[in-house]
Amino acid sequence: MDFASTLVTPCSHSHASVLSYQPESQPMTPYKKHNCPVTKRLAEDMLIRNMPPRTIDASTDHARRFAGFIQKPLDEATVEDGRNFQLYLIHEKKIGYSSFNQAARAC
């Protein structure tokens, strides 16, 4: 299965098409938006640090992409999974420094 064509729900093994992913038109609070314990905790921790909602949304979206890359729930991720995702972002996706830092914080 190709990462570019699927996403994994962060805390389950169900797959969804990337092409059918639609960001929510009305932003929700982190408590309402994230039903996965891992992404909910990430959102809550960022809220405690007084991060803006858009930053929280971006980080939790990166966490979902990371889950899709590793093809398993976030609570089963390893340090090696995080390292491999970072290498993928650098070598395959060739993302910029700022985007890389944002994605790396989420994994």
The enclosing domain of 21 has a CATH number of 1.10.150.130
Residue 1 confidence class, pLDDT cut points 50, 70, 90? very low
Beta bridge partners of 8: 15
Residue 20 confidence class, pLDDT cut points 50, 70, 90? very low
Q: Which residue has the higher pLDDT, 53 or 106?
A: 53
Please give the residue range of the domain that contains residue 48: 3-106
The share of the chain scoring above pLDDT 90, in percent, equals 39
What is the pLDDT, as a whole number, of residue 13?
46
Q: Which residue has the higher pLDDT, 46 or 106?
A: 46
Q: Which residue has the higher pLDDT, 21 or 69?
A: 69
Please give the Cα distance from 60 to 13 (Å, whole number). Answer: 17
**Collapsed DSSP state (helix, strand, coil) of residue 34:** coil
Give the number of domains in the chain: 1
Secondary element (H or E) of residue 58: helix 53-70
Query: What is the rounded end-to-end Cα distance, in angstroms, of the chain?
Result: 21
Question: Is pLDDT of 103 > 60?
Answer: yes
Question: Is pLDDT of 91 > 80?
Answer: yes
Question: Is pLDDT of 33 > 90?
Answer: no
Residue 79 confidence class, pLDDT cut points 50, 70, 90? very high
The residue to which tokens 């960022």 are assigned: 46
